[in-house]
Amino acid sequence: MEVRLRAGEILYEIERREGYANLILRSILPSLDLSLKEKKLITELVYGILRWEMTLDEIWKRYVKYPNYLTQWAKILLRMAVYHVYFIKNTNIPVAMNEIVEISKIKAKKEKSLINAVVRKISSERINIEDFPEDIKYSHPSWILEELEDYLGKEATIEIAKWNNSPSFTTIRVNTLKTTKEELKEFLKKDGVKVRDGYLVSQALIIEEGIPFENYHLFKEGFFTIQSEASMLTSIILNPKPNERIADLCSAPGTKSTHLAEIMENKGEILSIDINKSRLKLVEKNSKRLGINIIKTLNSDILALPEDLNGTFDKVLLDVPCTGLGVIKHKPEIKWRRKREDIYNLSKLQYSMLEKAVKLLKKGGEILYSTCTLTWQENEGVVLSFLQKNPSFYFKPFTLKDKEFPGILRILPFLYNTDGFFLSLLKNEE
């Protein structure tokens, strides 16, 4: 019973704190006296229930007269019951249902009789999910599907929804200052970690099966860092050179800053800027772990940067705050917290940040604008509006995997096997 109880407690904490599953799991799982297999089941339950929340709710609510009056714990347990019946293969349904009822006696005492009755109905009847409307069938709010369809078309929207609901995986970036990809692969394999090469980036490895990384010696010794391939592309396309001066804006926790430093062979200077002082400490911590000493940090709002920084950088990386619709696969909470108006509010902020960021560049400098979302307003809308008002800037073409792009790259997750991203490389005239 402990596995399902702990999964429920984590789901409750995510809701209560408006936290993210990856961070809360990372803080709680290591302290649990459970086997790796049991921890994997907790992880599957947490992510699966978050991904399929809308579909799960549609099913259990059919058996409850006043669903809105249930406590959060009751809803979590009913979602868990539906998830076991509809989405987990090779599970002992009677055992799972009995444990859920037993947990209700601890966490939802007033609703235990209702939960017991509903759980029995859930496990004895099957509803055809294929008959549901698309938003419920794919467990995505209708506004997200509408925005994606307007931007990318119907077929791509369905593929993205399916991708978002499939199990996530971990991608790591080899620290080329300490090792090579082939050497790290051998180290990992010796420790029983199953890996394969990434799809887009030469220094990327995908972990197929392994161990928690927080206490893993190769991670602590700085041989690699966790980062999606789409995120790695921001630094690769910006292509900083050794001894250049680079600014990384909205930089915490430093994943991109440290990648820039590795590409630069730890030569030159990187100013890593972020508004969040506590998260900025993670930049320093990660730099130290990876053996990087060219990164300096600055705690500042991008819109209030000191003017003496203007015109002093060869290149700037601006990965702006966004709606995050490209990273729903490993941050499923985004689906339930974002609203359509966030797109328009954030696009205004993004434009202001881009206008401020370009002032940091020297003449002939380059800026990489990126988001981890898939909306026109936050991507092409921002960049094209900026170019229209700033004629001294233009798209700089770049090459990726022997294919040339005209200064813009849109990463669709199901095509590239990574996060959904938008990247645009802009250059200032000499």
Whether 372 is a known active-site residue: answer yes
Tokens of 40: 């994997």
Question: What is the C-alpha end-to-end distance of the chain, expressed in Å?
Answer: 66
Angle of helix 21-28 relative to helix 2-17, nearest 10 degrees, comes to 130
Residue type for position 251? S
What span, in angstroms and rounded, lies between the C-alpha atoms of 387 and 175?
A: 35
Q: Which of 372, 382, 383, 408 is catalytic?
A: 372
Task: With beta carbons less than 8 A apart as the criterion, state whether 351 and 385 touch.
Answer: yes
Q: Are 78 and 122 in contact (CB under 8 A)?
A: yes
Burial class (CB in 10 A: 0-12, 13-18, 19+), 420: buried
Q: What is the dihedral of CA 144, 51, 204, 302, to 10 degrees?
A: 50
Question: Can you name the residues that pair with 422 across neighbouring β-strands?
Answer: 371, 410
Q: H/E element holding 226?
A: strand 224-226
Q: How distant is the alpha carbon of residue 114 from its chain centre?
A: 36
Sign of the alpha-carbon dihedral angle for 152, 153, 157, 159: negative
Q: What is the DSSP string of 336-363?
A: HH--HHHHHHHHHHHHHHHHHHGGGEEE
Rounded distance, CA 301 to CA 253, Å?
15
**What residues form DSSP beta bridges with 371?**
422
List residues with catalytic annotation: 372
